[in-house]
Amino acid sequence: MSGNPPTAAPPDAAPPASLRRRPALLPADHRVERLVRLYAGLSGFGVSLAMMVRARLGVGPWDVLHQGIARQLGVQIGWVVIAMSAVVLLAWIPLRQRPGLGTISNLVLVGLVTNGMLDVLPAPAGLRVRILLLASGIGLNAVATALYIGAGLGPGPRDGIMTGLAARGHSIRVVRTCIEVSVVVVGYPLGGTVGPGTLAYALLIGPLVHLLLPRLAIRQDSPKTERKTDTHD
């Protein structure tokens, strides 16, 4: 035979693009713990939204829009949360964001839990009880957010917009402020509830999640630990 023998690729050569794997939908480490935190967080998020709605002292910025649309259509707010999540997810396409299991679960579960809680949670009459319900809702919302983000299975549809724009060089604080002001401006004339709860949520949720996230996030295994695990499997 004529010709030179095929040259072996160096051991550290990158695999062809067709053989490169996409990131796993569910990472191999801490799978059960990730799923428990994800679904506990998303369920808690839906419960917290229902609590703030029943407090009638103002809801979070995005929920001002959700509530306004729901009142115009005569449907429960949870259905609007689901529909808006799907619409917002379309905006990920030009931002080249990739949804994860947490993203899709967020889209469906939060709205369903919110509707279920609104069916069983009565609206209190006394102002003190309403304030307590609002404060508890904001606190639960922060814990729930830290749990589902800390699971590391993908951000919610609305968070993905902010992180996608931030990845393009925009300040995430400026992006978040502009988006939240815009949804309040649109939602309030539609009938969304704006009040002291809206301001409290906007001011407190960021610092609370910042405080809780390091405590509730899944700790990544070190490369050495992963290699040992792979060896024993």
Could you report the per-residue pLDDT of 3-29, keeping only the tens digit for each? 444 444 444 444 444 333 444 577 777
Could you report the per-residue pLDDT of 160-216, keeping only the tens digit for each? 888 788 778 878 788 888 989 999 999 999 999 999 999 999 999 989 998 999 998
Using the predicted structure, report yes or no on whether residue 223 has a pLDDT greater than 80.
no
pTM, full prediction:
0.81
Residue-wise DSSP of the chain: --SPPPPPPPTTPPPPGGGPPPPPSS-STTHHHHHHHHHHHHHHHHHHHHHHHHHTS---HHHHHHHHHHHHHTS-HHHHHHHHHHHHHHTHHHHT----HHHHHHHHHHHHHHHHHHHHPPPP-SHHHHHHHHHHHHHHHHHHHHHHHHTTS---HHHHHHHHHHTTT--HHHHHHHHHHHHHHHHHHHT---SHHHHHHHHHHHHHHHHHHHHHSPPPPPHHHHHHHHHH-
Q: What is the pLDDT of residue 222?
A: 55
Could you report the per-residue pLDDT of 106-126, keeping only the tens digit for each? 999 999 999 999 999 999 999
